[in-house]
Amino acid sequence: MKKFAVLPFALAAYPAFAAGDAGWTDLSNTNMVVTLAFLLFVTFLGYMGVHKMLGGQLDKRAEGIKSELDDARALREEAQTILASYERKQKEVADQAERIVAHAKEEAANAAAQAKEDLKASIARRLAAAEDQIASAEAAAVKEVRDSAVQVAVGAARDMIAKQMTATDGNKLIDEAIKDVEAKLH
């Protein structure tokens, strides 16, 4: 293969082609020289396998870009998963906060109702205590009035009996009282 790559140089350098008016092979024609040099350069690059190297580099670059895109997709999916997780957690926290507030309101209402009941019970106890004190005071006053009435009655009866009773009647009453006491003791 190397032998054929050198052939265009050998033909161009041959003195028969260089001396005459050969047309397209005339080396004074710059277009022709540039075209030959370009073709020779491209052939040399092809022989050296530059096109394979360039293709390999482009393939590597494409694989790198593809792996970066795959990584970016994976990161995006992971970010979406994390975002969804945080949104769920936020919703759960909001629901829990609503439940806590509702429970606190319910407990406050229950505490207020219990306080009302306790206040009613306390008022009822105080009223009952006041009524008991009034009844006790009333009973004490009635007893005091009765005691006073009994004392007055006993005093009045004593005075009356003392005025109306004789000594024989008194002795008779004493004897009867002694008999009553003996009968009750035995």
Domain ranges of the chain: 90-186
What pLDDT shows up at residue 47? 92
22 DSSP 8-state letter: -
Check if the beta carbon of residue 43 is closer than 8 Å to that of residue 7: no
Q: What contacts 33, CB < 8 A, 6 or more positions away? A: 27
Residue 23: pLDDT band by 50, 70, 90 thresholds?
Answer: low
Please state the separation of Cα 36 from the chain's center in Å: 81
Whose tokens are 């992971």? That residue is: 78
80 DSSP 8-state letter: H
Check if the beta carbon of residue 41 is closer than 8 Å to that of residue 33: no
What pLDDT shows up at residue 27? 74
What pLDDT shows up at residue 145? 85
2-16, 36-50, 59-73, 135-149: which has the minimum mean pLDDT? 2-16
Residue 16: pLDDT band by 50, 70, 90 thresholds?
Answer: very low
Q: What is the mean pLDDT of residues 137-160?
A: 82
Q: What share of the chain is helix, strand, coil (3-state, %, to 5)?
A: 90, 0, 10
E strand residue ranges, the chain: none
pTM, rounded to two decimals: 0.38
End-to-end CA distance of the chain: 164
15-19, 115-119, 136-140, 149-153: which has the minimum mean pLDDT? 15-19
What pLDDT shows up at residue 24? 63
